[in-house]
Copies of this chain bind each other. A is one copy, B any other.
């Protein structure tokens, strides 16, 4: 495994982690001041700061863009909704290209309002990715399907295991490797009994596009906004990083923490310092 004990270059900060008190420009500066290697901005942050300004600022700061959050959200109740979602994904690809991102992260979406048809939602997701895949390929922007924890299956993402995501990649990608792959977030997949094997499979296929870290707290008091800092929970993050690196992943470790009652309330300067320390000791 790579030695992170003095590393900052392999650390990336997902900009959601400090979004409550800093705008995107401040986040970029905060990372750059600390020689943090990468950043992953959200589209609403990019829109607020300005796409070209964001691209220039990140480039000048020397940061790798480990992903743009997010494309996806494909399912819809009708044809107009499906079409609008596809168009939005095409715009997301353009933005990711402008930023020189390593991938566009896809949070694929759950079931449309009123639906109980998760299999149908999954077909809509696959059809949606298929509809934008050629555009992504042409623009050299890998699409990273992020399997989300099954507790988000209804309303956020109906792709819920790495195996399921890779099955989808295989059907979509026809062996063309990284044009469609996966983002592995320990928060979403740590519990999966098949995780090690599926990470190896992703690596063999060249589909490991991103690696996200945070921690699962016990107890977890909110299903969305109570993620823990690495080391504060029960995920064996080094074990999973080992599997990911054994599978050939050479990218950055992206810290993505939604924490309404703890980390989002703290001074972002402190949060970034803790991210660095935990990246070096608990990832």
Q: Mark A residues whose CB is within 8 Å of B.
A: 111, 115-118, 122, 149-151, 153-155, 158, 160-161, 164, 190-193, 216, 218-220, 223, 234-236
Contact = CB atoms under 8 A, between A and B. Distances in A.
Q: Please provide the 3 A-B residue pairs with the shortest distance between their CB atoms, ordered closest to farther.
A: A153-B191, A116-B236, A150-B191
A192 B193 CA distance: 13
B161 A193 contact: yes
Contacts of A115: 234
Contacts of A111: 234
Contacts of A235: 116
A111 B111 CA distance: 32
B154 A151 contact: no
A235 to B, nearest CB: 7
15 contacts: A111-B234, A115-B234, A116-B236, A118-B191, A118-B236, A122-B193, A150-B150, A150-B192, A151-B220, A151-B223, A154-B191, A158-B191, A160-B191, A160-B192, A160-B193
**Of listed A116, A193, A216, residue having the most chain B CB within 10 A:** A193
Number of chain copies forming the complex:
2
Contacts of A150: 149-151, 191-192
A149 B154 CA distance: 13
B155 A218 contact: yes
A122 B193 CA distance: 9
Contacts of A118: 190-191, 236
A150 B234 CA distance: 14
Contacts of A149: 150-151
**Of listed A154, A158, A216, residue having the most chain B CB within 10 A:** A154
A116 B118 CA distance: 32
A114 to B, nearest CB: 9
A236 B160 contact: no
